[in-house]
Amino acid sequence: MMKLILNKGILNQHLHFGNGTEKKTTRRISCRKKLEGEIEQTTDVKVKRLLTYLHKNLNTILIGNPSELYRIITALNKKKLFLFEGNDTQWLEFLSKCNEIFVKDYEEFVNREIGVNNLWCAYKYVEELNITICPYCNSQFVFYYNTEKGKTRPVLDHYFDKATYPFLAISIHNLIPCCKICNSDFKGTKTMYYNKFLNPFEECFGEEVFFEKKLYQQDNLDYHAAIIGESFKYDLKINTTKASRALREKVNNNNDLFHIEDIYNSYHKRFVNDLIIKTTIYNDLYLSNLSETFNKLFNNQVELRQHLIPNEKEANVVLLSKLTNDIVLRELNWNTASE
C-alpha cells in the first residue's frame, strides 16, 4: 500500500466541477444545482432534511479527506436512525435521489471528453495525480495515456462503495486510481470499512510494516542457496510486529482483500533473487570504483546507491518499490547513509 497526495490544483478543479464554477463554459448541470433541484422538488420533509444536510456540507463531500468523508457517513447514519426509525422506504428514497445527483455526476466525470475544451474529468485527474503504479498492490502499472490514436487511464476505485454510499460517488478522496486486478477482480463489490482497511489517501505500510523472507522449515533445505538468491525455498511475508494493533488489523485486511502475499510469492520471488544477486555484486569496493570511474554522473557512493534503489518520492512510479527497499535495506543491510 502506497500513499497518495492530492495537490491544491486537483482539489480546486474538482471543487469548481462540483459547484459548476469551471472556467470553461459548459451546459452541464452541476452537482450543486442538481442537489438544489432535488431539495426543491422533494415533498418528504425528512428526506428533504437529509438532502439539505448534504447541500450544507457539499464542499466537504467534494474534496474532504477520508476522515471527513467518514464523519459524513457517521452523521447520516445517526440521522437515519433518528428520523426514519427503521423506515427503510424513506432511506431508500433518499439514496435514490443521491444516485440521481452524485452517481450521475460521477458517470459524467468519467465519460467527459477532454478534447480542445480541456475539461476537468477522470483523465485530467489521473494525469495531474501522476502515478504509474497501483497504490494497493504496488506491482501493476496504472498509467495515463492520451493520443489521437487512443487513450487509457487507471480505473477509479470507490473506497466507500457507491452502491452503499452514493452521496460519496463524486468525492475526489474517494476515487483511488488503481489497477483492474485490485479493483474488479479482488475488491469487486466488497465493502472497505474505514476503521478496518488502509486508505492510500491517508496511510501506507510505512516503516512499521515491511516485507521479509521467511525460509522454509524443512529437512535437507539448502539454506545458503535460499539466502544468496539461488533458490525459491522461502516465503515473502508482510511483517507487522512493529505496527500498532489498529494498523496491523488494517494491513492484514488489505493483504487478504488484495491477495498481496499470495501474488508476491507466486510472481515476484525471481525479482527478489535478482535483487540479492545485484546487491552482492554492488559491494562497497565495486561501488567505490564506480563512483570514481563515473564521477561526473555520481558525486559519491550515497548518490550511486540511491540510483540503484527507489527513493520515497519514486514509490508511486516504480514497480515493487516497497519490496525493493525492504529487502535491500532491511534484509540485506545495504547501507545508503554512508559513503
Same domain, 220 and 300: yes
pTM check: above 0.75: yes
Residues 232, 302, single domain; the answer is yes
DSSP state of 309: S
User: Does one domain contain both 36 and 178?
Assistant: yes
Query: Is there a domain that residue 38 lies in?
Result: yes
pLDDT for res 116: 42
The pLDDT value given to residue 143: 87
The Cα–Cα gap between 327 and 170 comes to 38
| Residue 114 in domain | yes
231 plus 309 within the same structural domain: yes
39 in the same domain as 93: yes
Helix (H) or strand (E) holding 292: helix 284-293
Main-chain phi, psi angles of 235, to 5 degrees: -115, 145
Tell me what pLDDT residue 42 has: 95
Q: Residue 336's pLDDT is what?
A: 45
Write down the pLDDT at residue 339: 40
Domain that holds residue 231: 210-331
Tell whether 237 is covered by a domain.
Answer: yes
Distance, CA of 21 to CA of 269 (rounded, Å)? 51
The bridge status of strand 210-215 relative to strand 155-158 is: unpaired
Question: Collapsing DSSP states into helix, strand and coil, what is residue 117?
Answer: coil
- pLDDT at position 215 is 85
Domain check: are 166 and 18 in the same one? yes
CB 260 within 8 A of CB 254: yes
State the pLDDT at residue 337: 40
- Say whether 282 sits in a helix, a strand or coil: coil
Asked if the structure places residue 202 within a domain, the reply is no
Query: Same domain, yes or no, for 157 and 284?
Result: no
> What is the secondary structure of 145-173 as a DSSP string?
EE-SS-EE--EEEESS-TTT-GGGTT-GG
Quick one: DSSP state of residue 103?
I
In a domain, 192, yes or no: no
Considering its fold, how many domains does the chain have in total? Answer: 2
Give how far Cα 186 sits from Cα of 8, 181, 261, Å. 31, 6, 13
pLDDT (0 to 100) of residue 149? 87
Do 153 and 265 lie in one domain? The reply is no
Are both 40 and 124 inside the same structural domain?
yes
Provide the b/e sequence for 321-338 (b: ≥16 CB within 10 Å): bbbbbbbbbebbebebee
The grid coordinates listed for 9 are 490544483
First to last CA, the chain: 31
The Cα–Cα gap between 303 and 60 comes to: 42
In a domain, 201, yes or no: no
Last residue of a domain, one of 156, 187, 218: 187
Are residues 128 and 34 located together in one domain of the fold?
yes
- Indicate whether 261 and 180 sit together in one domain: no
pLDDT tens track, the chain, 339 positions = 789 999 999 999 999 999 998 877 667 899 999 999 999 999 999 999 999 999 999 999 999 999 999 999 999 999 999 998 878 899 999 999 999 999 999 999 998 765 446 789 999 999 999 999 999 999 999 988 888 888 889 999 999 999 999 999 999 999 999 999 999 999 998 899 999 999 999 988 888 999 999 888 765 655 455 556 667 788 999 999 999 999 999 999 999 999 999 999 999 999 998 888 877 766 655 556 655 566 655 565 555 555 566 666 666 778 898 998 888 877 766 554 444
Angle between helices 269-281 and 260-267 (to 10 degrees): 60
Quote the distance between the C-alpha of residue 39 and its chain's center. Answer: 34
Are residues 312 and 267 located together in one domain of the fold?
yes
